[in-house]
Amino acid sequence: MAEREYLISLWIRVWHWINAILILVLTVTGISLHFADPNLPLVEFALSVRLHNIAGVTLIFAYLFFVIANIVSGNWWQFVPKPPGIMQRAMAQGRWYVIGIFKGEPHPHTPSKTTHFNTLQSLTYWSVMYLVMPVVIVTGLIYLYPEFAPDQLFGYDGLLPVALLHYLSAAVILLFMLSHIYLGTTGKTVGSMFKMMITGWHEH
Ligand code: HEM
């Protein structure tokens, strides 16, 4: 097998890094807004509001681009977790992350043009991109245009479930990003997968 293979198209790499920057801006400003305290400003409140709104609206366009480009290019299929043997592959991958990697065992999955992701990656990437991102985006939009929220829901203010879902889905994305960055170091070398997301070339 060749030492390296071109796997990641330019549009995915461009989307990925724009998305990563937007999520970082949204995280820092989101934390500043949620834990707003004049004595402990991470980013000043009014500036946080502006930056959070701008990054949020830009994220909607980036996300629409991601979905449409995935459909047009057929790349969406990469994200779909595929049976049969999905449980065994997920267990083998999980075992490698927890035990095998520390014993120097070979990686159970070799990325290829037809199968970029290992089973745990496709499960998490699919869930984050197609389940959690839509929730954070739709609830963010309702927050931006609160007139679309119901006045009351189950006897509570109609914005309460919106706020709760926005906070929870954002927290899931933040936790995903932290584990994603750690797992990004588990390539051939600590930096090879980060390099791949810049150049497109995967080192086997
Ligand atoms: C500073 C933040 C981030 C860094 C350093 C980073 C790093 C990486 C690395 C090294 C990879 C390649 C490893 C792999 O294929 O699994 C990757 C792929 C990927 N990342 Fe990130 N990431 C960041 C933020 C995010 C965020 C916030 C999301 C989504 C909410 C995300 C979604 C993805 C997806 C979907 C892929 C697969 C792309 C493909 O091969 O088609 N990343 N990222």
Q: What is the pLDDT of residues 82-108, one digit of tens each?
A: 999 999 999 999 999 999 999 999 999
The average pLDDT across 172-186 equals 98
What pairing do the DSSP bridges indicate for beta strands 156-157 and 152-153?
A: antiparallel
- Tell me the C-alpha distance between 134 and 153, whole Å: 21
- CA-nearest residue for atom 26, ligand 1, is 20
Q: Taking the domain 4-203, which CATH number applies?
A: 1.20.950.20
Question: Ligand 1: residues within 6 Å at CB?
Answer: 8, 12, 16, 19-20, 23, 116, 121, 125, 128-129, 173, 177, 180-181, 184, 193-194, 196-197
User: What percentage of residues in the chain have a pLDDT greater than 90?
Assistant: 89
* Under 8 Å between Cβ of 41 and 31: no
* Under 8 Å between Cβ of 144 and 159: no
pLDDT band for 40, please (50, 70, 90 cuts).
confident
| pLDDT mean across residues, the chain | 95
> What does the pLDDT look like over 138-165, one tens digit per residue?
999 999 999 998 898 888 899 999 999 9
pLDDT band for 41, please (50, 70, 90 cuts).
confident
What is the reported pTM? 0.94
| For the chain, domain boundaries | 4-203
pLDDT of residue 162: 94
The average pLDDT across 168-194 equals 97
